[in-house]
Chains A and B, each alone.
Chain A
Amino acid sequence: MSDFLRSYLTVAIFGGVAVALVGVLLGLGSFLRPSRPTATKTMAYESGVDPVGDMWSQSNIRYYVFALMFVLFDVEAVFIFPWAMRLETYGYFGLVEMAIFIFILVLGLAYAWRKGMLKWV
């Protein structure tokens, strides 16, 4: 077996232990605890509030635009934080690269803003 594949052995052992641990704990729990279901107990859990309506409820399409904008800045953060940690090592090269990256992202925000995507009504 090559070294490369042997290094995956840890992953396999870890996975096996994880599955076994969950199986043992859940199995032990269901073996020990009493089971007396009632209508209230089997109700879907919605943060302690009684569930309203069914699962196929509609939500406003505007949330989708905001979700997209969120992803825009989320991805930005993923790249900017590591870059900021090592700003000095990267020097002017890194600075210019990041300026280009931010420019393209800001272009997306400017586009959404100018086309009126950020207005709620």
Chain B
Amino acid sequence: MDFSAALPVADVVAFNRPAIDWHAASPELILLGFGALLTLVDVIFLDRAKQYTAALAGIGLLVTMVPILTLANDMSETGPRVMFDGAYVIDEFSLIMKAIFILSGYVVILLSTNYIAEGDYWESEYYGLMLSAILGMVVMASSRDLISIFVAFELLSIPSYMLATWKKRSLESNEAGLKYYLMGVFASAIMLYGMSLLFGASGETILTKVNASLSSDPLTGESLSSSTPVLTLAVIFVIVGFAFKVSAAPFHNWAPDTYSGAPIPVTAFLAVASKIAGFVALVQLVFVGFYARADVFQPLMWILAAASMIIGNLIALRQTDIVRLMAYSGVAQAGFILAPLAVAGDVGDQALASIVSYLAIYAAMNLGAFAVILAAARKTGSTSIESMNGLFSYAPGLAVAMTIFMFALAGIPPLGGWFAKFQIFFAVVEQGGTWAIILGVLLAVNSVIALYYYASVARRIWADQAPDGDLTPIRIPPSLGAALVLTVVATLVFGFLPGAVSQFTDVGLIAGG
């Protein structure tokens, strides 16, 4: 029986089934499938499922790597794969970022396994939420559309708010989650307002089309030599929204409290994966969406980068808690990563390549530092900076690893960090203008300030006495040990063979769109 005659209205718009490239979408679909499977297993088996959930989540992430590798393998033949009229793009940039998200998510799950099982935590939900946050990040890496970016942003943020409060009976953890949630919602609201202005001015949500409309006046249609107030406001609001996510000063206030209150694996997750996702969104917006308005985003990025480096480093000097120290050092690192965006309009893809290299190396060394903090806290039960004292005398392996991560974060050759910092510095100075040179000087000065507090942690490890003379060794569970080995190897390889990173991170967004 034909119902269409009875419903004439329904026939007005014909339905065109969107062409879906299943191969390109398979990483997201696999993650979604494993997330649903985790919940299903939890619903069916309840407490009996607990011991398998961490392994299941880890396997899910490793399986997700398979289509990413096959897609990367096909990339030279097929070129970028575009879906939904350009709203969803799988290109080299998105694949390398997806790989970083999935691998750092895998390391976080390795860190979580014993920590979550031994504490008074809910287990199955933890890994389910972790997978959905990683799904949001993986979607973010391909989103080239205002709505997809917003959906991906919420998909990765909302599970993170809950994970930050995962120590259910601890007031500090509740405070951490509440602060993170309130600041996150505030940032979303600002960003949405900016996006609505962008849509109002251009009538488009696809970033490449937004970019095309930003170069002309929305009122007269004439091409613009400088910005109009509404476009300036729109660009600034959207960028400020993501500045909260990457904890760039002056929007960093939530980070230290959230980092120190949340469970340590979750802190590692927020400080690495979640922050990188914010940068991925910023990079896509700047290089694809706002590139025509370099006169707006460049000064803004200059201020954010300079303020983050200076404020983050100066406050980090006075910290007495190692996690808070890492939080402020993370603010300073965010300043470093934002610096190339201040010259992005002039140096183009070189700025992008330097950011992507930095993000890959940053993920390895920061996750490693949190792994050592986690291992040390297993014995000392505290994250105060004194708990690192004399680590060498009872855990020499951890001491060597922590020294590697601290000097890598400081940017001492031949460890990973130097290449990252060098590329950022090179991209900024390459532009050659007065402001770029000033920013380059700030980068150099801040590297020296940062060396002071990173080296003082190393000094405590090697030179000071262990608290109370307690020299019982630390028992490191296999999963934590695996995480440590992975991050140490990555940090060393990135430092000794920088070509191994730059070969993958030499990507472009501007031409490919």
Interface residues of A (CB under 8 A from B): 1-2, 4-5, 8, 85-86, 88-90, 93-94, 103-104, 107, 110-111, 114
Contacts and interface: CB of A to CB of B under 8 A. Distances in A.
Given A2-B218, A89-B10, A111 B39 contact: yes
A8 B203 CA distance: 11
Contact of A90 (B15, B42, B218): B15
Contacts of B221: 2
Given A107-B36, A110-B43, 20 more contacts: A1-B220, A2-B218, A2-B219, A2-B220, A2-B221, A4-B203, A4-B218, A5-B219, A8-B200, A89-B10, A89-B15, A90-B15, A93-B17, A94-B15, A103-B36, A107-B40, A111-B39, A111-B42, A111-B43, A114-B43
A86 B15 contact: yes
A5 B203 CA distance: 9
A-B interface, 8 closest residue pairs, ranked by CB to CB distance from nearest: A89-B15, A114-B43, A4-B203, A110-B43, A86-B10, A2-B221, A93-B17, A107-B39
Given A5-B219, A90-B15, A85 B40 contact: no
A1 to B, nearest CB: 6
Contacts of B46: 114
A104 B42 contact: no
A103 B36 CA distance: 9
Interface string B9-32: 011001101000000000000000
A48 to B, nearest CB: 37
Nearest to A113: B43
B44 to A, nearest CB: 8
Contacts of B220: 1-2
Interface in B188-205: 200, 203
Contact of A1 (B14, B15, B36, B219): B219
Interface in B38-55: 39-40, 42-43, 46
A56 to B, nearest CB: 19
Contacts of A4: 203, 218
9 contacts: A2-B218, A2-B221, A4-B203, A89-B15, A93-B17, A107-B36, A107-B43, A111-B39, A114-B43
